Amino acid sequence: MTTSIDKISLEEAKARVIKLRELINDYRYHYHVLDESIMSEAAADSLKHELTQLEEKFPELITPDSPTQRVAGKPLDKFEKVKHEKRMISLADVFSEEEIKDWLSRNEKLLTHQDIERLEFFTDIKMDGLACSLHYKNGKLEKAVTRGDGLVGEDVTMNVRTIENVPLTLRGSNLPERLEARGEIVIFKEDFNKLNELQEKHGEKPFANPRNLAAGSIRQLDPKVAASRPLRFISYDLVTPDKPTHKEAYEALRNYGFQTSGQDKTFKTIEEVFKEIKHLGETRQNLPFNTDGMVIKINNRDVYDRLGIVGKTPRAAVAFKFPAEESTTKVRDIVISIGRTGAATPVAILDPVVVAGSTVKHASLHNADEIKRLDVRIGDTVIIYKAGDIIPQIKEVLTTLRPENTEPFSYEKALKEQYPELEFERPAGEVVYRVKGETSDLILKRALEYYASKPALNIEGLGEKNVIALVDSKLVSSIADLYRLKVSQVSSLERFADLSARNLITAIEASKTAPLAKFITALGIRHVGGQTAIALANKFHSLEGLSNATEEDLLEIPDIGKIVAESILAYFADEDNTKMLEELKSLGVHPSFTDTSSLPLAGKSYIISGTLESYDREAAEDKLRALGATVTGSVTKTTTALITGEKPGKSKTEKAAKLNIPIILEADFLKLIGE
């Protein structure tokens, strides 16, 4: 949520930080102390990341009790407390390649040239379990301690001794007098599923997830409970005896008899690390255990130690979090989109956030009942997820973070404000508001007519009567169906012969590579006319670029205000529209874009008034735009010239004269366009 954080004031940040800390601490207490979850770990990570960003922007807001300044929750009272000989630290989270590069850059500033030349990176999968430290004396397991708060943990030796893969006696000869190995206590996915099958077979409630079950099993006072669960200890660090590199430490762990993830690797360059992140991101679902990220460390342990610790995290290591399936963000606005069937669909405009690998800027709210159920309001912080990993949805509103004086969203009031010229009705038994008196066929016919009109794609032969024939015959039920038409189908209609059918199909085919601005116009986005479409094309260069635009991106364009920006965002948030655009793409519709910045009339602005002999108004405007000019509808100080034909508008000529704007005739216009 970098956009909102960049603009937030100190006072706003202070209030936000207080609420974030309260919610994160509540989550941590339930998760780490009570072994129950009040939200997903991905959502909690997102909140913590926002808190970290706010504290980085406003260091004066950092307090010792902030969740960013400690490792985990308090140890339970039911086990003996043990002070760690060396603090069990956690790692700072990073969420992008850019953040990893920043981490590396910060470290390189603290290292010698020789250190930098010898840098290697050690990586391993980040396990999702209960962190634990195992202590050995003369090769025998002496003590097992949970992480606790990083300084003091809990003695869970009796339970850990029951874990089959924990070596009670280390393997090998010449064993060190003291050895401390750290790792995660986990349950593999297959074991977890089998355990739940047994639970259901016995009529008992299935367990929620492997991580909570592993933690709960270790915290049972009766070791028999732990012994009955398929627990494993996966080691990730050898604290003592020390080894020169993390790679050698892992090799030593395996030699001593500890199981590791099997995913550890070393790399010479950070680019190789990025490839490994991509590889693990694509294959992690096939791993036998759950994971939410990858650990990246500077391999040389001397360099690692010399870099030291900042707050509660080491400088020389970070945890890259895989794209979250859930995240938190804020609702900026709620706009309503009118779909091709006349249905009014509410859309939440969000602060951009990455979910499941892509940036999400809006989410469908479906209908008025769903808004009421969620009680989502403008300004709310929400948890979002991707349904089927595709469609962004709002899962929950975090009401504890709700700003003061927010009002419940009024659907009917929003409809009146956003569409004052339309009437809506909610048919009995339906949850959707629709445009009153409009049928889906009528709306489709209008959309097709506009799509094929001269201001849009100018598809010859697709006028009003032919559109009616195609829709009424059921050959066309969407804009995409135009590109599925065959000559034999069209020629069978009463209005068409073989030649006219072929000409229509040829014209439709030619529209596949129409100029991007024309295609944007053809979409019929509310408040987006020809000139606005040109501005959008020049700004984003592709339909994909436009569909990914944020409100800030749109507002950077002169003459585009909040209403137009919201209309564009609502259009690309509508599931019907996005589905149609994907269909068009699959059918070979690829609008073209030509950079007009170097064309002869680039940067110049013209108005045409009156009737020209050589071209009709639209064709004349297209000629000017093809040379890079802007064509507007009203005279302003920035107008280059007013082009007049027969019977020009009196108000325009008078205003041009008043502002000393040149008034040129058709002959001058023809010279201007090179004819």
Residue 514 tokens read as: 């129409």
Q: Per-residue DSSP letters for 39-84?
A: S-HHHHHHHHHHHHHHHHH-GGG--TTSGGGS-S-PPPTTS-EEE-
Torsion of CA 300, 303, 307, 313, to 10 degrees: 20
**How far is Cα 467 from Cα 479, in angstroms, rounded to an integer?**
11
For residue 271, the model assigns a pLDDT of 96
Burial status of residue 636 (CB atoms within 10 A of its CB: 0-12, 13-18, 19 or more): exposed
**Sign, Cα dihedral of 612, 616, 621, 624:** negative
For residue 225, the model assigns a pLDDT of 86
DSSP H helices in 439-497: 440-452, 464-472, 487-491
In angstroms, what CA-CA distances link 310 with 67, 306, 579? 14, 12, 48
For residue 84, the model assigns a pLDDT of 94
Q: Which top CATH class is 440-586?
A: mainly alpha
b/e for 165-181, b at 16 or more Cβ within 10 A? ebbeebeeeebbeebbb
Domains 2-69 and 326-423 share a fold: no
Q: Which of 290, 391, 293 is nearest to 348 (CA)?
A: 391
For residue 32, the model assigns a pLDDT of 47
CATH number, domain 605-672, options 3.10.350.10, 1.10.3720.10, 3.30.950.10, 3.40.50.10190? 3.40.50.10190
Q: Per-residue DSSP letters for 329-361?
A: EEEEEEEEEE-TTSEEEEEEEEEEEEETTEEEE
Active site residues: 126
CATH homologous superfamily, domain 2-69:
Helix hairpin bin (1.10.287.610)
For residue 177, the model assigns a pLDDT of 95
For residue 35, the model assigns a pLDDT of 54
H or E stretch covering 672: helix 666-672
**Sign, Cα dihedral of 23, 25, 31, 34:** negative
| Mean pLDDT of successive 10-residue stretches along the chain, which has 675 residues | 71 92 79 68 88 91 74 58 91 91 96 94 93 94 91 91 89 91 94 91 84 87 87 95 95 92 95 95 87 93 94 92 83 83 84 79 86 93 74 88 92 88 79 76 85 91 91 91 94 90 94 94 87 88 89 86 85 84 92 81 88 86 84 85 89 89 90 86
For residue 144, the model assigns a pLDDT of 95
Q: Answer for the pair 1, 330: CB distance below 8 angstroms, yes or no.
A: yes
CATH number for the region 81-277+285-318 comes to 3.30.470.30
Per domain, the residue ranges of the chain are: 2-69, 81-277+285-318, 326-423, 440-586, 605-672
For residue 70, the model assigns a pLDDT of 47
Q: Which of 384, 358, 331 is nearest to 39 (CA)?
A: 384
| Beta-carbon contacts of residue 430 (< 8 Å; ≥ 6 apart) | none
CATH architecture of structural domain 326-423: Beta Barrel (2.40)
| Beta-carbon contacts of residue 292 (< 8 Å; ≥ 6 apart) | 41, 42, 45, 126, 128, 321, 322, 324
List the helix and strand counts (H, then E) for the chain: 27, 24
